[in-house]
Each structure stands twice: as structure tokens, then as C-alpha cells.
Structure 1
Amino acid sequence: MKIKECDGELVDIYAIYFINCEVNFLGMPKNYGGLSAYSAREVTIVEPEIKGEYVFFKNVGHGIYHWALIKEDLLDGLLELDQTAYNRFLEILKAEGQIDPDFC
């Protein structure tokens, strides 16, 4: 799935979650070093298909997350811009062919 921010940047999405009936996304913008949150009201969905393996997860809200965020316990690290979690997630995404090999 891909979204477009108001500045035109395209971002790959790795989670869709719901808090207080609001739809939100977690994506990895280039050169950010982790996951960033986006409100569905503030972006445009340009590629609606979700590719890969995703799992349901419930915490403060609930949603569908890329399997590695939950099963490898990477979610918190990526939200906190932890370099180790970021490198591991990139490794997984590249192995799955879900992200360009030169993405950083």
C-alpha cells in the first residue's frame, strides 16, 4: 500500500490501525530512520493493495500490521527511531521484495 503526503512524497505503508474510529497508517518515509504515523484524512491513498503477510494486533487501538513489526517485536523500536530495529526491518522488507534494495 502507498500513500501520498500533501507535499507529494510517496510512502510505503506497513500498518493500518484504528483509534477512536479514526483510520491511521504507519509508513516509512525515506531518510527518516523508522515508522511515521499518518492520518487517513490527511493523505491520499495511491496504491490500495496490501502486499505481504500481515497480522491483527491490539494495543491502544487495533489494526493490521506487517508480521515482522509484531512477531519480531520491532514496532516500538521503529516508532522510537531505533537504528537496530530499523536495520532489521529493512533487511526483512528487502528479502521479501517489498522495498527497493537501495532504500535507506
Structure 2
Amino acid sequence: MKIKERDGEIVDIYAVYFIGGEVNFLGMPKNYGGLSAYSAREVEIVSSEMKYNCIYFKNNGYGIYHWALIKEKLLDDLLELDETAYKRFLEILKTEGLVDPDFY
């Protein structure tokens, strides 16, 4: 899945979640070092297809997440910009062919 921010940047999305009736996304923009949250009201959906294995997960809200965010317990660390979690998730994404090999 891909979204376009107001500034035109295209971001790959690795989770769609719902809190209080609001639709939100978690994506990994280049040069950020982790996951960033986006409101569906503030972005344009460029591609709605999720081309990876997903898992339903419920905590404060509920949503569909890339499997590694949940099974490898990377979600919280990526939201906190943890470098080790970022490197691990990026390794998984590259192995799955979801990002270019030169994505950093």
C-alpha cells in the first residue's frame, strides 16, 4: 500500500489501524529511521493493495499490520525510532522485495 503526503512524498504503508473510528496508517518514509503515523484524512491513497503477509492485531485500537511488526515485536520500537528494530525490519522488507535494496 502506498500513500502520498501533501508535499508529494510517496510512503509505503505497513499497517492500517483504527482508533475512535478514525482510519490511520503506519509508514516508513526514507531518512526517518522508523514508522510514522498518518491520518487517512490528510493523505491520498496511491495504491490500496497490501503485498505482504498481514496480521490482525488489537491493542488501544485494532488493525492490520505487516506480520513482522507483531510476530517479531518491532512495532513499539519502530515507533520510538529504535535503530536495531529499524535495521531488522528493513532487512525483512528487503528480503521480501518490498523496498529497493538501496533503501536506508
Q: What TM-score results when the alignment is normalised by the length of structure 1?
A: 0.99
Alignment map for 1:65-76 (pairs within 5 Å): 65-76=65-76
Alignment map for 1:25-64 (pairs within 5 Å): 25-64=25-64
CA distance, structure 1, for counterparts of residue 82 and residue 30 of structure 2: 15
Q: Which runs of 5+ in 2 are unaligned?
A: none
CA distance, structure 1, for counterparts of residue 69 and residue 6 of structure 2: 26
CA distance, structure 1, for counterparts of residue 52 and residue 27 of structure 2: 15
Poorly superposed stretches of 4+, deviation over 2 Å: none
Match of 1:13 in 2: 13
Q: Which runs of 5+ in 1 are unaligned?
A: none
Query: Residues 34-72 of structure 1, C-alpha deviation per residue, up to 9 Å, x if partnerless?
Result: 000000000000011111100000000000000000000
Classify the secondary structure of the residue corresponding to 1:99. coil
2:27 alignment partner AA: G
Match of 2:84 in 1: 84
Cα deviation, residue 93, structure 1: 0.3
CA distance, structure 2, for counterparts of residue 52 and residue 28 of structure 1: 15
CA distance, structure 2, for counterparts of residue 50 and residue 91 of structure 1: 18
Identity %: 77
